[in-house]
Amino acid sequence: MVLLSGIFTTLIKATPIRRLYRATVCSFVLLASFAHHNGSCFASTDGDFQFWSTVGVSFDVNKDWAGAVEEHLKFGNDAGHFYQHQTDLGFIYKSFVNWIDIGFNYKQVFKEQSNGHWGRENRPHFNITFKGRLGSLDFSDRSRFEYRDKEYGDDLWRYVNKFEVNLPYEFTRFKFRPYIADQVYVNMDGSGFEKNRIYAGTTFVLSEDIESELYYVHQWSEFLGRWQELNALGFELKFRF
């Protein structure tokens, strides 16, 4: 994990990735600082309403490869307390066949623990996404294999599958396009099924180089032998360079 962290830091310092990374970070600084100092301690997610926010940038490396950087923040306790920050850097190989994308990513996660301390997790992950069309419906199925190197807790491998269907409708000049998705998390240490998320949302276009997404998610997750639920409103802003 030390080697992976070093590679991640080197890539972040590179140009043009450094400029893109700074753009995503600066979008969150004031909001994250305010929420961190004005929220109550985050303890349990059961029955909670949350707000999830993402800013990302993507760019072509060459005709075969594309890169992306994302900053993701989560606010719990009725969306009033900042408790998690993720940075995800990845590269996608898009010339294997036109219906498969292969991705190699490295994610760092900082999350507030139950004791009030912040813990870091290094999370390299490999993704393979199958894309297709059934009638007028566009769909994708992404399989993700991630290694969770935790500062607090045991390290483990986890499999995540996300199946998404985009409906064949576009509304207004912003091209609002609804979608639904199901995402399943399975721990590969023998403990099995850990989490399930159901999404309903819409993508839309703000300009030629800016896309956005608004969604609702309902999550079930296992925590200390007990199943908990939460609801979240999510917003994503994606820049294309």
Extract the runs of DSSP E, i.e. beta strands, from the chain: 48-60, 65-76, 81-97, 100-112, 118-134, 137-150, 156-166, 177-187, 192-207, 210-223, 226-240
- Do 105 and 90 form a contact (C-beta atoms < 8 A)? yes
DSSP notation for 55-82: EEEEEESSSSEEEEEEEEEEEETTTTEE
pLDDT at 5: 45
Q: What's at 56, amino acid-wise?
A: G
* CATH of residue 195: 2.40.160
pLDDT tens for the chain, 241 residues: list them. Answer: 544 444 444 444 544 445 444 544 444 444 444 444 444 445 457 899 999 999 999 999 999 999 999 999 999 999 999 999 999 999 999 988 999 999 999 999 999 998 889 999 999 999 999 999 988 899 999 999 999 999 988 999 999 999 999 999 899 999 999 999 999 999 999 889 999 999 999 999 999 999 999 999 999 999 878 899 999 999 999 999 8
117 three-state secondary structure: coil
Give the up-direction half-sphere exposure of residue 101: CA atoms within 13 A in the CB hemisphere.
19
Domain count for the chain? 1
Report the 10 Å Cβ neighbour count for 28. 18
Q: Provide the 3-class DSSP secondary structure of residue 84.
A: strand
Cα dist from 231 to 18, 35, 150, 163, 198, whole Å: 34, 19, 25, 19, 10
Phi and psi (nearest 5°) for 191? -80, -20
**CA–CA gap between residue 146 and residue 206 (Å, rounded):** 32
Between β-strands 48-60 and 226-240, what pairing exists: parallel, antiparallel or unpaired? parallel
Query: What's residue 40's pLDDT?
Result: 45
Model pTM?
0.82
Angle at 197 between CA 193 and CA 203, to 5 degrees: 150
